[in-house]
C-alpha cells in the first residue's frame, strides 16, 4: 500500500524519528525510522495504529501532546464532533497569541456522537501530533452537570472543567406573587453558610469602580433564591474536583448561560462574590447575556444594548481580576466579537462547536451532492425532535425543497439562517446514519476540508488577535 508523509508531524523521541502517514483513503498511521517496542504495530514496516494504547504512550514521551490549563490567556474552544478537524483548527491559530482548546465536548454531544471523553481527548491529541503544534492547548469537559459525568473527563486527562448548574437556577419571572413571597420569607441561608443579616450587609455598598450597581434588599434575596442552589452545586463540584486533582492545576468555569432569563449586572456581581467567599477559584464565568445566542448564526438583538451591558459585565470581571468572561454558543457571532474582546481587555474565552460540523457539510455538499441531499432530508425530518435541547428558532417551512435545487446551489444552504440551524442540531441522527460516509468523503478531500476550516475559524479569531500582548497569567 502506498502512503504519503504528513510533513508537519515529524518529531524526535530520544534521537528516534517518528511521524504520521496517510493512505489513499485518508486513513492515518504512525511510522518510525526503527522499531518502537512500546507501540502496537500494524505490520513489519514500523507502522503503528492510532490506538488508545499508542496515544497514551506518546503522551508519556512528548510533553506537548498533553493538554494544559490555560489560565487567563485569551482562548477559543473548537469542539470537534467528527474527530478529524483539529489540524484545520490549529492552522487558524498559527501566528496568533490565542490559546486553543482543542478537545471540547459536552455530555450531550458524547451521547449523540457515541464517543467517550477519552476518544475526544485522543482524537485531539492525534491532531496536535499531525500538525506539530507544540504550544499549550486545552481540553474542556463542557457543560458538566454531575460528579459522575465529571469523573469520566477527569480520568481521561481533561484540564478544563465547565460546570453547568442550570438545573438549580430558579426562574423567578415565571413564579406567581404568592409563591415568590413564600420563597422570599423562607430562604435557607444555611445553603451557602450565611445569614440574612450577613447577606444583606455584604451587598449594601459597592466598590467605587462599580457605582452603576444597585440592589435593594429584595434584589439581594431574589438573587439568592435564583442562584443559591446553583452556587451550592458548583461548590460541591469544585471541591470534589480539587480533591481528585490534588496539587495539579486546572481551569474551572462556571456557566449560567443556559437559563431562561439574562444574568443581571447585580446577579453577576453576586455570583462572583459568593464564589470568592466560598473559596472557589474559577478561571472563567459564562453569564446569560441579553439578546439571543442561537446555534450556528450571528447574535440576534440590539448591539447598542449588548455593548452597554457587556461593558458593565467586563467592569465586574476587571474588579475581581481573576477570571475571563466566557461566551457560549459563540459560533458565528461575528457582530459582537470586537465588543467582547476589547471591553474585557482580551480576557475572554469563546466557545465554538457546531460550526466546524457545518463546514464539514459544506464540503460534502460540494464533493458529494447526493450524500448531502440525504443528510438534508434526514435533518428536516428530525428537526422538531432534535431542537428540544437547543436554543434555536429556525422555520423549516421557509426552506426550499432540496429536489428543486441544482447541485451547485447546495453549498449556499450553509449560508442561510434556517438551514444552518436545522443542519446544526440534527448532527447526532445524521452521524448515526451517514457518519461513515461523511468521514470517507472528508478523508478523501482532507486538504479541502482543512483549508475551509482554517478560513472559517480564522473569521472567529480575528477580533481576538491583539498586536500588543495584554496582561496575562
Query: Quick one: average pLDDT of 70-98?
Result: 97
| pLDDT of 55 over the 80 cut | yes
97 phi/psi in degrees, rounded to 5 = -90, 0
Confidence band of 470 (pLDDT split at 50, 70, 90): very low
Q: Is the dihedral of CA 390, 395, 400, 406 positive or negative?
A: negative
Q: How far is CA 76 from the centre of its chain?
A: 8
Digit-coded pLDDT (tens) for 189-209: 999 999 999 999 999 999 999
Q: Which residues pair with 20 in a beta bridge?
A: 6, 30
- Residue limits of CATH 3.20.20.70 in the chain: 71-171+202-353+457-464
For the cut 60, the answer to whether the pLDDT of residue 217 exceeds it is yes
Active-site hit among 109, 123, 140, 142: 142
What pLDDT shows up at residue 260?
A: 84
Q: For all residues of the chain together, what is the average pLDDT?
A: 96
pLDDT band at 436 (very low <50, low <70, confident <90, very high): very high
pLDDT at 44 over 80: no
- pLDDT, greater one: 263 or 1: 263
Query: Could you give the dihedral angle defined by the CA atoms of residues 457, 458, 460 and 465, in that order, rounded to the nearest 10 degrees?
Result: 140
CB pairs under 8 A, 24+ apart, for 199-202? Answer: 199/224, 202/273, 202/277
Find the helix or strand (DSSP H, E) in which 419 lies: helix 417-425
Q: Report the candidate in 54, 152, 159 with the shortest Cα–Cα distance to residue 103.
A: 159
Alpha helices in 296-394 (DSSP H): 303-320, 337-343, 354-367, 369-386
Q: Is 332 a catalytic residue?
A: no
Q: What is the pTM of this model?
A: 0.96
pLDDT of residue 173: 85
pLDDT at 258: 86
Q: Which of the residues 80, 140, 253, 309 is marked catalytic?
A: 253
CATH superfamily of 71-171+202-353+457-464: Aldolase class I (3.20.20.70)
- Report which secondary-structure segment, H or E, holds 450: helix 446-461
- For residue 471, indicate whether it is catalytic: no
Q: What is the pLDDT of residues 326-366, one digit of tens each?
A: 999 999 999 999 999 999 999 999 999 999 999 999 999 99
**pLDDT tens string 313-329:** 999 999 999 999 999 99
Q: Tens digits of per-residue pLDDT, 111-136?
A: 999 999 999 999 999 999 999 999 99
Does the structure show a pLDDT above 90 at 468? no
Amino acid at each position: 500500500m502506498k502512503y504519503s508523509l504528513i510533513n508537519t508531524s515529524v518529531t524526535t523521541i530520544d534521537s528516534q524519528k517518528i511521524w504520521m502517514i496517510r493512505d489513499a483513503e485518508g486513513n492515518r498511521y504512525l511510522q518510525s525510522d526503527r522499531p518502537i517496542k512500546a507501540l502496537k504495530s500494524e505490520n513489519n514496516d514500523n507502522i503503528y495504529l492510532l490506538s488508545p494504547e499508542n496515544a497514551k504512550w506518546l503522551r508519556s514521551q512528548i510533553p506537548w501532546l498533553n493538554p494544559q490549563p490555560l489560565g487567563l490567556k485569551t482562548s477559543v474552544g473548537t469542539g470537534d464532533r467528527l474527530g478529524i478537524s483539529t489540524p484545520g483548527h490549529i492552522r487558524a491559530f498559527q501566528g496568533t497569541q490565542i490559546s486553543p482548546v482543542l478537545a471540547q465536548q459536552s455530555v450531550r454531544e458524547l451521547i449523540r456522537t457515541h464517543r467517550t471523553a477519552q476518544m475526544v481527548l485522543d482524537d485531539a491529541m492525534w491532531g496536535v501530533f499531525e500538525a506539530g503544534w507544540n504550544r499549550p492547548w486545552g481540553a474542556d469537559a463542557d457543560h458538566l452537570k454531575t460528579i459522575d459525568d465529571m469523573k469520566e473527563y477527569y480520568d481521561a486527562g481533561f484540564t478544563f472543567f465547565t460546570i453547568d448548574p442550570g438545573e438549580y437556577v430558579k426562574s423567578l419571572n415565571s413564579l406567581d406573587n404568592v409563591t415568590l413571597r413564600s420563597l422570599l420569607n423562607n430562604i435557607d441561608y444555611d445553603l451557602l453558610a450565611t445569614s440574612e443579616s450577613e447577606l444583606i450587609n455584604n451587598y449594601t455598598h459597592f466598590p467605587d469602580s462599580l457605582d452603576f450597581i444597585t440592589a435593594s434588599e429584595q434584589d439581594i434575596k431574589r438573587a439568592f433564591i435564583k442562584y443559591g442552589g446553583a452556587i451550592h452545586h458548583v461548590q460541591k463540584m469544585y471541591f470534589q474536583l480539587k480533591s481528585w486533582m490534588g496539587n495539579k492545576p486546572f481551569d474551572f468555569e462556571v456557566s449560567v448561560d443556559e437559563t431562561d432569563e439574562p444574568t443581571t449586572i447585580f446577579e453577576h456581581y453576586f455570583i462572583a462574590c459568593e464564589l470568592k467567599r466560598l473559596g472557589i477559584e474559577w478561571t472563567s464565568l459564562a453569564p446569560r447575556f441579553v439578546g439571543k445566542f442561537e446555534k450556528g448564526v450571528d447574535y440576534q438583538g440590539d448591539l447598542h444594548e449588548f455593548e452597554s451591558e457587556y461593558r458593565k459585565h467586563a467592569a465586574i470581571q476587571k474588579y475581581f481580576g481573576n477570571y475571563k468572561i466566557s461566551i457560549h454558543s459563540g459560533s458565528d457571532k461575528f457582530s459582537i466579537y470586537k465588543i467582547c474582546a476589547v471591553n474585557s481587555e482580551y480576557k475572554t474565552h469563546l466557545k465554538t462547536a457546531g460550526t466546524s460540523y457545518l463546514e464539514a457539510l459544506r464540503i460534502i455538499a460540494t464533493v458529494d451532492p447526493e450524500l448531502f441531499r440525504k443528510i438534508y432530508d434526514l435533518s428536516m425530518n428530525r428537526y422538531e425532535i432534535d431542537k428540544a435541547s437547543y436554543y434555536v428558532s429556525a422555520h423549516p417551512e421557509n426552506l426550499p425543497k432540496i429536489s428543486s435545487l441544482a447541485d451547485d446551489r447546495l453549498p449556499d444552504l450553509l449560508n442561510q439562517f434556517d438551514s444552518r440551524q436545522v443542519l446544526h442540531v440534527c448532527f447526532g441522527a445524521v452521524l448515526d446514519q451517514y457518519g461513515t460516509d461523511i468521514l470517507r468523503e472528508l478523508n478523501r478531500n482532507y486538504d479541502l476540508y482543512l483549508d475551509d476550516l482554517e478560513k472559517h475559524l480564522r473569521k472567529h479569531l480575528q477580533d481576538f488577535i491583539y498586536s500588543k500582548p495584554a496582561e496575562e497569567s
